[in-house]
Amino acid sequence: MTNSDLLTYCMSKPGAEQSVHSDWKATQIKSNGVLFAMVHEVKGRPAVSLKSTPALAELLREEHNDIFPSEHLNKSHWSTLFLDGSLKDSQIYYLVDASFDQVATAK
């Protein structure tokens, strides 16, 4: 999966808007002003940071080498995952959906 593929998917979510965070060289995707995905590069590799429950974040990090705590966001809720790693596209889309749903229900 590429950053472009992921951005297209994220922008298909209701109320999705994107902005650039120049300090982090990242594209932030928000729904109704609340961040649910941050698309960027980590060590030259395409990546996305997504929100989840702390329990899910811990489980994902234990099970997948390509998922790790986000550098710039709350590490208990936000994980970064490589788009060009071992995760299937369907797994990445599922985690985007979960991040979006968590933000949408938090209002």
pLDDT of residue 22: 86
C-alpha torsion sign, points 91, 7, 99, 65: positive
pLDDT tens for each residue of 60-75: 999 999 999 999 899 9
What would the CATH number be for the domain defined by 3-105? 3.90.1150.30
Where are the chain's structural domains? 3-105
Residues of the chain with pLDDT under 50: none
State the pTM of this model. 0.93
